[in-house]
């Protein structure tokens, strides 16, 4: 479907009368339940086994919890841990756990459960590749008693409390880990009631949660709606109560003018990039990658695919990240420079490549914009639309030329660029040395210097084409309170949500 036709369908749906809807369908549903729309369905429900952010959107903080919690403002606070203390050399951190915490099946949460989860995550056979660097640095987990333990580190890591608040560091029930992909058992305020594949995941309130009396919702339903027109229709019909990450940005003004809805635009830690296969010729030549960067007009992408909502970036850091450096001027939009670099690299044009696009609107709509821009410098990008599972088994395994994806995890430079086996295959000993230096220092000035050096190195090597930092757009019914309006991490903290 072309952009023009798709836009027409959306506005037609948006303008259609609702007389055919079920009487009272838009009325606020029971005060103890909520239905939210999600763009992507996760491949599983175990965030320690896969990198898809869609997993954390459903289970993180709701079903599964970690030692620490990252709030909407990015601040780190205690969660399953009551407090923690680093050794003077920074190579060990002792955690004191909260007492009285139980898993949803009634079993007690203790230090042995933490040790089990972390030993499993740092096992060489672990599929927790998204946080390989974090867990490889944990040389041992020492249990002192049921409520205290020490993480012994190979090298100092001042960011440890933040990393332990991400969804890949949640604590799983040792006796039910085999079922975690479909029905994880955790310490959170909800349990997985049902998962109707292709449709929805339903969570029910956990009666054994330590703060059950404070949780206002008895049921939370996450419905999967990746088509923008269907998102608009579902909101207008009252089939869903909101979308924390609304995808149909071209219909945003309509909701802003509708008193039944609240629209909030916030920030994210996302880095929207055109990923490049660094191991595959001709992209293994930095001149070709630089040509790709000069071919892309970032602002045109943001205006065309994101309705102007977002900020241009020039490296793998978001403006909200500590140490952010604006490097957008390193590769300004310059088609003639792109052509010259391709010629210098000995590339014969037209160069035929494949641009693989996952389901989100930023990729599908943005991909057409990118393909048109690449064509102007002699690169013919054949668009290949794939479903999320296909993207994870294809491009994310290294089988691709180019793809467009939003990396949502904050400060994920080590995960993405220090591992040569990561999907775009960047292999730089110099870069890995910077990451090691950064992990070992607690000096604020030195950390900032290294963060900026890391950004400059990624830009110099032009590992990927860094395009935009997406805004978060949430649309929901008036009266629904507590949804995050910014995403330092991709999570929906439903324990804090309720109807006014």
**pLDDT beyond 70 at 419:** yes
* 410 in the same domain as 365: yes
Q: Compute how many other C-beta atoms are within 10 angstroms of the C-beta atom of residue 386.
A: 18
> What share of the chain in percent tops pLDDT 70?
93
Q: Is residue 58 part of a domain?
A: no
Instruction: Tell me the pLDDT band of 414, cut-offs 50, 70 and 90.
Output: confident
* 401 in the same domain as 301: yes
The residue out of 176, 203, 229 marking a domain boundary is 176
Supply the pLDDT for residue 23.
40
Q: CATH number of the domain that 139 lies in?
A: 3.90.76.10
Say how many domains are in the chain.
3
* 461 in the same domain as 332: yes
Instruction: Tell me the pLDDT band of 276, cut-offs 50, 70 and 90.
Output: very high
* 449 in the same domain as 353: yes
Contact of 436 with 450, CB cutoff 8 Å: no
Residue 485 domain boundaries: 25-46+188-266+474-499
Residues with Cβ within 8 Å of 196's Cβ and at least 6 positions away in sequence, in order, are 202
* 449 in the same domain as 348: yes
* Cis upstream peptide for 350 (omega within 30°): yes
Supply the pLDDT for residue 126.
74
Q: CATH number of the domain that 255 lies in?
A: 3.40.190.10
* 289 in the same domain as 212: no
* 309 in the same domain as 254: no
Q: Is residue 146 part of a domain?
A: yes
* 72 in the same domain as 138: yes
**pLDDT beyond 80 at 51:** no
* 410 in the same domain as 454: yes
Mean pLDDT on 31-47 = 94
HSE of 182 in the Cβ direction (CA atoms, 13 Å)? 6
**pLDDT beyond 70 at 413:** yes
| Backbone angles phi and psi of 440, in degrees to 5 | -90, -5
- Going along 98-162, which residue ranges are E strands? 138-145, 148-153
* 278 in the same domain as 227: no
Contact of 442 with 227, CB cutoff 8 Å: no
Contact of 447 with 439, CB cutoff 8 Å: no
Residue 350 DSSP one-character state? S
């Amino acid at each position: 479907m072309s952009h023009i036709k798709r836009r027409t369908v959306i506005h037609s749906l948006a303008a259609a009368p609702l007389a055919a809807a079920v009487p009272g369908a838009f009325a606020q549903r029971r005060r103890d339940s909520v239905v939210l729309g999600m763009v992507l369905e996760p491949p599983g429900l175990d965030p320690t086994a896969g990198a898809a952010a869609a997993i954390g959107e459903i289970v993180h903080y709701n079903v599964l919890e970690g030692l620490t919690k990252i709030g909407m403002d990015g601040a780190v606070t205690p969660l399953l841990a009551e407090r923690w203390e680093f050794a003077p050399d920074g190579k060990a951190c002792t955690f004191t756990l909260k007492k009285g915490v139980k898993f949803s099946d009634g079993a007690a949460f203790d230090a042995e459960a933490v040790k089990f989860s972390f030993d499993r995550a740092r096992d060489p056979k672990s599929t927790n590749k998204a946080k390989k660097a974090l867990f490889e640095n944990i040389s041992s987990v020492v249990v002192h008693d049921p409520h205290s333990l020490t993480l012994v580190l190979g090298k100092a890591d001042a960011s440890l409390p933040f990393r332990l608040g991400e969804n890949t560091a949640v604590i799983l029930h040792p006796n039910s880990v085999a079922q975690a992909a479909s029905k994880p058992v955790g310490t959170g305020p909800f349990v997985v009631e049902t998962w109707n594949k292709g449709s929805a995941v339903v969570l029910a309130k956990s009666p054994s949660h330590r703060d059950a009396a404070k949780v206002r919702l008895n049921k939370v339903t996450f419905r999967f709606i990746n088509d923008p027109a269907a998102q608009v229709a579902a909101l207008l019909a009252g089939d869903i109560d909101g979308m924390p990450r609304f995808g149909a940005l071209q219909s945003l003004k309509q909701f802003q003018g509708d008193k039944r809805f609240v629209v909030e635009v916030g920030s994210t830690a996302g880095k929207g990039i055109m990923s490049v296969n660094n191991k595959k010729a001709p992209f293994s030549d930095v001149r070709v990658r630089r040509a790709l960067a000069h071919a892309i007009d970032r602002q045109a992408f943001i205006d065309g695919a994101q309705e102007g909502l977002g900020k241009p970036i020039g490296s793998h850091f978001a403006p909200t990240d500590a140490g952010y450096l604006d490097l957008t001027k390193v590769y300004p939009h310059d088609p003639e420079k792109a052509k010259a670099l391709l010629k210098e690299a000995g590339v014969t044009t037209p160069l035929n490549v494949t641009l693989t696009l996952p389901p989100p609107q930023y990729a599908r709509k943005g991909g057409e914009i990118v393909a048109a821009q690449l064509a102007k410098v002699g690169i013919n990008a054949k668009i290949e639309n794939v479903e999320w599972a296909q993207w994870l088994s294809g491009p994310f395994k290294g089988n691709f030329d180019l793809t467009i994806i939003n990396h949502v995890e904050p400060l994920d430079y080590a995960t993405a660029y220090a591992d040569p086996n990561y999907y775009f295959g960047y292999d730089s000993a110099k870069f890995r040395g910077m990451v090691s230096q950064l992990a070992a220092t607690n000096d604020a000035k030195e950390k900032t210097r290294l963060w900026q050096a890391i950004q400059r190195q990624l830009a110099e090597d032009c590992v990927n084409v860094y395009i935009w930092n997406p805004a978060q757009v949430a649309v929901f019914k008036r009266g629904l309170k507590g949804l995050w309006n910014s995403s330092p991490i991709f999570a929906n903290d439903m324990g804090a949500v309720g109807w006014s």
